[in-house]
Amino acid sequence: MIEADATKQPDEAWVREVCKIGHGHACCRYLTIAAGKGWSCEKATTTGRYLDTRVETETITARGDNCTGRASASPDAQFEGTLEDRLR
């Protein structure tokens, strides 16, 4: 698992090299794009938990979990505490 800076949203290089966009099942399940805000990581959000269920039911192509998580542009990403706390 690649260690990520959870204070930064994914940039183009990160999306290609770590998130593996365009690589089917290897593509990160948490990668999204936020209108007007660019790439976003949903690993530590309620959306991330939903995406986990999509992987479990095999109803999503992107199934990767490629790093420890980056920042999200989503409104539900406003959590206190550590990334581990947010994933609980």
Give the tokens for residue 82. Answer: 């550590």
Q: How many helices and strands, by DSSP H and E, does the chain display?
A: 3, 2
Q: What average pLDDT does the structure give for the chain?
A: 85
Give the tokens for residue 84. Answer: 């581990």
Which tens digit of pLDDT belongs to each residue from 17-74? 999 999 999 999 999 998 888 999 999 888 999 999 999 999 999 999 999 888 888 7
- For residue 80, the model assigns a pLDDT of 46
- For residue 75, the model assigns a pLDDT of 61
Which tens digit of pLDDT belongs to each residue from 25-34? 999 999 999 8
Residue 58 DSSP one-character state: T
- For residue 7, the model assigns a pLDDT of 83
Exposed e or buried b per residue across 40-74, where buried means at least 16 C-beta atoms within 10 angstroms of its C-beta: bbbbbbebbeebbeebeeeebebbbebbbbbbbbb
